[in-house]
Amino acid sequence: MSRVFLDVSQCMRRQVGGTFEPKKIAFHLQLFFRMTTVRAAKTGLEALLSPDNCALVLIDHQAFQFANLHSHDTTLIINNVVGLAKTAEAFGIPTLLTTVVEERGGYLLKQLQEVFPEQKPINRTTINTWEDERVVEAVEKTGRKTLIMAGLYTEICLAMPVIQALADGYDVFFVTDASGGVTKEAHDMAVQRMIQAGAVPITWFAVLAELQRDWAREETVPAVAKIMLEHGGGGGVALAWEWQLLGSVGAGA
């Protein structure tokens, strides 16, 4: 930072001496402000996800990646990412599916593709999703400035686009339990790296709850209940039991 002060002061001295360098002064001032600006804390109601402010990007949930997933149980990640996808579909959230070299790494997870049967995943060669212009353009078309991302592997195919999207002015939430790494350490270090860059960690069930927010929003309650039954684990079992005790037909909804 002292070097920035030095460069600016040198420019100003040259200006006083008759040599005016406005572009160089502007460059160093901009650099200084970037270095001294503290990112605003993500707090308050506006910091929460809502159905009208976000888009979902699901990255590389393919056979090859699952084969070397060791940070989580594979069945857990499958359950969670499909639950996350169904959540987006239920709340009408724009969703982008993308794969990397699918002809070698395998097609998108079948259960995930079935949630969006009409959408063909963007098949990339870039390891960093955000370096594929088609992905960036598709995200821009949604008009949303808050992104929810999940992917395999956390430390590579998720961390890279998260960090780059932040620099492009997006607020990014990354879903820790719908993503995974080649080791627990790799996943954990990537989570820390993304947090340090300014992204927000969240779990898939928290996304569901945050989007619903109020049980008085009855329009989405049936879909939320169905997602809970199918993917909510113990919560889904408890809900089914409650319906049984109440003699409700909701379990068949």
Between CA 105 and CA 251 the distance in angstroms is: 38
| Set 135, 157, 175, 178: catalytic member | 157
Per-residue pLDDT of the chain (253 residues; tens, 9 = 90+): 444 444 545 554 555 455 556 666 666 556 555 544 444 457 899 899 999 999 999 999 999 999 999 999 999 999 999 999 999 999 999 999 999 999 999 999 999 999 999 999 999 999 999 999 999 999 999 999 999 999 999 999 999 999 999 999 999 999 999 999 999 999 999 999 999 999 999 999 999 999 999 999 999 999 999 999 999 988 778 878 787 888 865 544 4
Q: Note if 157 is an active site residue.
A: yes
**Rounded distance between C-alpha atoms, residue 29 and residue 242, angstroms:** 62
Q: Check: CB of residue 181 under 8 Å from CB of residue 153.
A: yes
